[in-house]
Amino acid sequence: MTLGLGTGSTTRYAIEMIGQRLREGTLRHIAGVPTSSGSARVAQEVGIPLTTLQQHPSLDLTIDGADEVGPNLVLIKGQGGALLREKIVARASRREIIIVDESKLVQVLGTHAPLAVEVIPFGWDTYSQRLRGLGCDPLLRMREAQPYVTDEGNYILDCHFERIDDPVALEAELNLIPGVVENGLFIGLASLVLVASTAGVAELLP
């Protein structure tokens, strides 16, 4: 199988487990496409062979996490800073499994996590006014007093909404803004969500 390897603290556990099973011999013939330099580093550390979308443009499965899971398995992703590659890999996958704990389940998107919007650095501040017009408070993501830079060399604006009632319309609006590269709304991409709680693991289907 060719696997998309998501980004984030929860997905790291999955990557480590895949590596363990490869070493034990209970899994064989696995190659992974990482969605970030961080995931690539973890995969290499645990012995997962890596490949690329150029070599494997169609993936069997992607395993990833989410910041929020709403009705119909509409997701907010992007707190790990890899939303662009994560969405590219998700669209190249036959199936995408999302793994979360129960705290990530919401009735309305935007109520717990900000929506990450990836933008090119040139003129990034000019996007803020347009984003505010969509009903959010956009904040430039920082790291050690400097703008956070994605693997693709872009900035991220964390857009704080009170609620996102129409994620489909919002995604379309965001994609019309010049300079916006991608946003953290993942619509129609999750095949299955596995939700961990003290009661066990529940399965959510679209």
Residues marked active site are found at 86
Which residues, other chains included, contact 168 with Cβ-Cβ below 8 Å and sequence gap of 6+? Answer: 187
The partner residues of 186 in beta bridges, in order of sequence, read 75
User: What is the helix, strand, coil percentage profile of the chain, to 5?
Assistant: 30, 30, 40
From the number of C-beta atoms within 10 Å of its C-beta (0-12, 13-18, 19+), residue 72 rates as: exposed
From the number of C-beta atoms within 10 Å of its C-beta (0-12, 13-18, 19+), residue 205 rates as: exposed
